[in-house]
Structure 1
Amino acid sequence: MNISDFYSKKEVVELTQNLVRIPSHKDVKNREKDVAKYIYRFCKENGLEAELASVEGERKNVYVYVRGSGSGRTLMFNGHTDTVPPYKMIIDPFKAEIKDGFIWGRGSNDMKGAIACMVMSAIAIKRSGIKLPGDIIIAAVAGEEEKSDGTEVLVKSGIKADGAIVGEPSNFEYAIGHRGLEWLEFIFRGKGAHGGVPDEGVNAISKASKFIQKVEEQLYPELKKRYNEYMGPSVMNIGRIEGGTQPSTVADYCSLKVDRRYVLGETVDSVINEYQQIIDEIKNTDDGLDVDIVRMESNLMNEFDHMYHYTDPDEEIVKVVKNALGSHIGKVPNITRKRGWTDAATLSYYGNIPTVITGPGDLSYSHTKDERIPINDLVDYVKIYADIALGFCR
């Protein structure tokens, strides 16, 4: 039996287009409400069991089920229904135009195309009449681009699965790990004074500079030693600094904002403590240093942290994904080691669900001014997802 006989290119293309045409970014009222309702209705109309679960207000997750006989593994497909805003796109963000073999529009690549593939794979399996021993669950979740509250709600509900797929664009590769993410602001306080008598003040910018130099001398070499085979190196980036008011005034304030990506073996506490140790060392010789470390609100989840993602390569879900991709592309698929943060971390770290990231599209198309997804990827990934389900749920 060929699962490709039970879905068409036209179906997956039209479903992707219809999802893209429903704006679901943070600036839309009720954000993912309308796209969640569309997915729910589409699944019900195509004979799938589906339910809506509250996330916040009228924002919903959609859970779709293909029930097995109860004797096999349960597989979860996870995809987020929100997108980043259209910003200054050079195409119509919600037209979902077909051109040059692509569907163009916001969310086509990240990641409504993947959700369309997940849904169509479930429909194809149901149409085929195959009765799997295990269950398939599709979780179309809200909020990944902001606080990941959709997957947080999903995990806190106690949902169980033996393996999961997160459908971020992967270019026919897969990932079993990525780094955790923390944004920190260092707030330096000084004492203002006239620029003509700078010794009467305490320059907060100078204090920040001293801290930066110490971090580069001491912490950077240590981070380079921390390397995980499936996540890459532990890193940090100083992304923004601002302080003072004018050249003729000693700066009484300086803010330093840092992006910190950490690997297995590190924690949020250990990350913060390393910075605090450097601050304490500076204070031993500079009692004028006054600085607070603040976890930035814009990066905080509701209750969880943006932890790292790691799944053991010997887990069954990893083997099944590797085989399914390999059979499709005719060679051993590559493991991606340079991913940004995804909901896979919440599933694997907090939900204890072995999780693999793979999906249609190419990461380089995400969040761009001309976001798009190859139509061939959509058609291919319906079969790949179905093959993963058929292999794993047995």
Structure 2
Amino acid sequence: MDNNAYEAVKLTQELIRIPSHKYVENRESNVAEFIYDYCGKRGLEVEFQEVEGLRRNVIAKLKGNGTGRNLIFNGHTDTVPPYEMTIEPFSGEIKDGYVLGRGANDMKGALACMITAMLNIKNKGKILGGDIIFTAAVGEEEKSDGTEYLVKGGITADGAIVGEPANYGYALGHRGLEWLEIRIEGKAAHGGIPELGINAISKAAKLIQKIEEELIPKLKERQNEWMGPSVMNFGLIKGGTQPSTVADSCIIQIDRRYLPEENVKSVIKEYQDIIDQLMRGDSEFKAEIIRMDSNLMEEFDHAPLIAQPDSKIARTVYKVLKDFNKKEPNIEKRRGWTDAGVLSTYGKIPTVVTGPGDLKYSHAKDEKIPLVDLVNYVEIYTRIAEEFCK
């Protein structure tokens, strides 16, 4: 393992050992300070961008000579909590060819590879035509406030890479994301005289059936070449208080993944139309739909990543991955939401998703990332930057 590759592995371990999930005081602040110091001490231009108190983005730059394209390397510093992990979540242990720990795969490994690739270019004494702008953003696992602040702060470039795990493939597009809650109102009564009440759970069942019969078939017909179909999922249903009481309330929570020709307003309207239809046919049916606060961004929506297959960044990533893999790289078409949607839709920056690791390890009880991926993605990111920024 050469020195550059070793540095990426070592840096991944160090980042894992700094917890940065939502239950940590000031969340990403400690890992952001570490990245700031690490980049600054190695000669990169580095600054903080305040998002919320001590929660700050880190922006590091390797300046070019002004004759080429500028490239963003984007990743997030937060992780999901460790929950019921079967390994020590913050050890950064190396075992059986993997680095283990929360955030190894999603996505501290990618952050380490991006930083190491920039230092790799710098240490060669090579000055590219354009700038490489590394952005370590807070909050992607929840409201994506970090990358929203980057865009609102005016960040711009000719292309961007978001380093979510891609198993040596890449994504040109992905669906937008909206979480909705439908609240059904009933009327409580004793279980011995249920006819005096209005059962909100029964009403919710009718609503679910109507959505499955009328809306879901329509979603299946909506297809996008780079994203797959428009989809939804009933993720949670909760109603009533106890078996002997008619349920006076019930909530349904929905995960909705939508295509570029759809938007939040049109998504909500489709559910509201079904609710209105049920209310017209049943005077006892009462329901309202709200956007879930836990998914709301400050001003933006969790918009789709708009595929731009003919963009320079898309062509560059394709060429580098094909040359590196010595075969056609896989284009992922049904991946989860990423901050690439913010950079693409609101920042108007052509963006591609590719990074070390495999999505199946993200958020896992034994989260890990292959050592070989960390080694290889330093080289892949280096080649992408050298080709794109020249």
Q: Please name the residue that 1:14 is paired with.
A: 10
Structure 1 position 294 matched with structure 2 position 290 = yes
Q: Please name the residue that 2:252 is paired with.
A: 256
Structure 1 position 341 matched with structure 2 position 319 = no
Percent of paired sites with the same residue:
61
Structure 1 position 195 matched with structure 2 position 191 = yes
Aligned residue type for 1:194:
H
Q: CA deviation at 1:199?
A: 2.5
Pick one of 303, 308, 327 that aligns with 1:331. 327
TM-score (norm 1): 0.97
Q: CA deviation at 1:310?
A: 1.6
Q: Please name the residue that 1:308 is paired with.
A: 304
Q: Please name the residue that 2:125 is paired with.
A: 129
Pick one of 268, 276, 284 that aligns with 2:272. 276
Q: Please name the residue that 1:70 is paired with.
A: 66
In structure 1, distance between residues paired with 2:128 and 2:386: 7
> Which stretch of structure 1 is more off in the superposition, 114-123 or 302-311?
302-311
SS state at 1:187 partner: strand
Q: Please name the residue that 2:27 is paired with.
A: 31
In structure 1, distance between residues paired with 2:84 and 2:381: 33
Q: Please name the residue that 2:39 is paired with.
A: 43
SS state at 2:298 partner: coil
Q: CA deviation at 1:125?
A: 0.7
Q: Please name the residue that 2:91 is paired with.
A: 95
Pick one of 79, 97, 104 that aligns with 2:100. 104
Q: Please name the residue that 1:81 is paired with.
A: 77
SS state at 2:15 partner: helix
Q: CA deviation at 1:101?
A: 1.0
Give the paired residue count.
390
Q: Please name the residue that 2:240 is paired with.
A: 244
Residues 245-292 of structure 1: CA distance to partner in whole angstroms, max 9, x if unpaired?
233322211111111111121100001000111111112211221111
Q: CA deviation at 1:226?
A: 0.6
Residues 206-234 of structure 1: CA distance to partner in whole angstroms, max 9, x if unpaired?
21111111111110110010111111111
In structure 1, distance between residues paired with 2:33 and 2:198: 57
Q: CA deviation at 1:197?
A: 2.8
Q: CA deviation at 1:68?
A: 1.0
Q: CA deviation at 1:195?
A: 2.7
TM-score (norm 2): 0.98
SS state at 1:112 partner: helix
> Which stretch of structure 1 is more off in the superposition, 265-274 or 250-259?
250-259
Q: Please name the residue that 1:393 is paired with.
A: 389
In structure 2, distance between residues paired with 1:205 and 1:123: 58
In structure 1, distance between residues paired with 2:105 and 2:164: 8
Q: CA deviation at 1:180?
A: 1.0
> Which stretch of structure 1 is more off in the superposition, 320-329 or 47-56?
47-56
Structure 1, unpaired ranges of 5+: none
In structure 1, distance between residues paired with 2:42 and 2:235: 47
